[in-house]
Amino acid sequence: MFGRFFTPKNQDTERVPPGQVLTEKFPVLTYGPTPSLRPEEVRLEIYGQVEEPKTLSWADLQNLPQSHLTADFHCVTRWSKLDVQWGGIRIPDLMQQVRLKPQARAVLVHCYGGYTTNLTLDDFLREQNLLAHTLFGQPLPRDHGGPLRLVVPHLYAWKSAKWVRGLQFLDREELGFWEVNGYHRRGDPWKEERFSD
């Protein structure tokens, strides 16, 4: 289903979390239908435990600092892809636009199509996390979450929400779609946090 798998080369072993197998392809993994959105239609709503709710348009997002990220991508279904090249807005740069209330502890990420996933504020505010619109130098393909997706490289890829439309800040963690359905609330691939106990 995912094409040719191969065992890690020696120099890659330390980059491949336990129980994962490398693939050179970039599989698509989506639960449910694939939303179809033109960039101009995209809105990012930021609400909940913030001093002032905001709605960012595509143009607003393009006006923020743009960054590149090369990161490994680990799906809980056991495939990993190394060195995925993303472009977009770093979460710390996005968050320059937002004043969180002191009681904010977590975020529930909402997607076009209804998918959700939860992150603690700590996991969300990482330097490496990206709101991505570009993949390998091209506009992010629709099936990989285009026009806009989250990339959270230090956690399993189900946290990297595709077709993002909202960031809801919360005073305590609320579980997202897969987390309600038995996946781990955090999902650190190095600790094999695949499922909740």
The minimum distance between CB 33 and ligand MTE, in angstroms, equals: 10
Say if residues 106 and 174 touch (Cβ distance below 8 Å).
Answer: yes
3-state helix, strand, coil in the chain (%, to 5): 20, 35, 45
Given the rule CB under 6 A, which residues bind ligand MTE?
26-31, 75, 111, 113, 115, 144-145, 157-158, 160-163
Q: Whose Cβ is closer to ligand MTE: residue 94's or residue 179's?
A: 179
Question: Given candidates 58, 79, 124, 158, which one binds Mo ion under the rule CB under 5 A?
Answer: 158
Q: Whose Cβ is closer to ligand MTE: residue 163's or residue 169's?
A: 163
Q: Which does 160 bind (CB under 5 to 8 A by kind): Mo ion, ligand MTE, none?
A: ligand MTE
d(CA 159, CA 151): 8
The minimum distance between CB 185 and ligand MTE, in angstroms, equals: 15
The minimum distance between CB 10 and ligand MTE, in angstroms, equals: 26
The CA distances from residue 131 to 90, 137, 163, in Å, are 6, 15, 10
Number of residues that bind Mo ion (CB under 5 A): 5
8-state DSSP, 194:
-
